[in-house]
Structure 1
């Protein structure tokens, strides 16, 4: 039987919630249905016998309270001194953690981004201010596109064309980030690219996810499609 990582179990939980809403069944029923589809009699048995050794590399999971999400959306007060005239944007970037080495796979980076966007969209007021940590997190942490690499794979990159999660703008060797590489068949990128895209990009400046709630919602749907595409390829 298949063994799931802790992160994959969380992904199944989220999938069960979607099934519950779409089909009008209980969350428990949806969990059992997914367990049966993966060779287990019910969800309890999957949790008991289907989780991989926790000593193995585990996916990096997004964890942030609603208050922490709200805090990330606020403009950072930049330090002002005779020698340091740092802008709010520069100060916010300085507070943005580099996650590029924490993602263990493309699906990990995408599922992290889905959880991140879902948390942002729970805010009653969706406003990503210039000079906020959230603005830089979205530019650095979230997939902007999957660009072709020298080895024929594609690499998940952020808005700065760096491996997803990276905060530095310095030159980087893409080949040093194999955990960000994914394979796409033919024109599969069209399944998740933004309308009008000519390559595997999930958004453009005119439809960046920090622009509005509507744009963020559309971007989240494209992330969902990217996740499905990666999972289908890994199963085939």
Structure 2
């Protein structure tokens, strides 16, 4: 009598189709979340740095309030966050399941993480370069965009790479609650239907995606690092 593992993805066209869909959903989730994370996380990180003690607009009270809010958002486990904001997710995308819905909590969870990465990268910029440009009469906005961001860009790219790699693992976690992607395929077929090779191929594909992202991020960071 054939076992459950005899009906595997390479013998089952339905599983093959689901596998292709799962790969695309994982890429869509990661790409969309990465875009919105960079869009909102970068300015938040710049704001954190500039309001801090070494920033161009140091305001201790505002910095502490914003810093606590960012740390709180980072501390909430992703699964809890995903369930907690279901009403907001429905409001934004009109659904609570699927890869589109998963983008909302993924983005909310990733923005504060990336913002801290940006802040730390800007802190590593030599303050002597900032002071030299200040003595030339440059505005604070000019210093932010043409000194801080220019010098801190390799670190920001590295931080964004780490953020995207973390997002890929979160997309797999999102699959446990209907978020789609390789995570959901691994759970629905690899775990619940005891198809061990489906689980294995999902893990291998996630590792391949993570490796590609990490290699690309490292390459870009090296290319733009002229220090």
TM-score class, shorter-chain normalisation, is under 0.3
Larger radius of gyration: 2
Q: Which is richer in strand? A: 1
TM-score normalised to the size of structure 2? 0.23
TM-score normalised to the size of structure 1? 0.22
Between 1 and 2, higher relative CO (CA 8 Å, sep ≥ 6) is seen in 2
Q: Which is richer in helix? A: 2
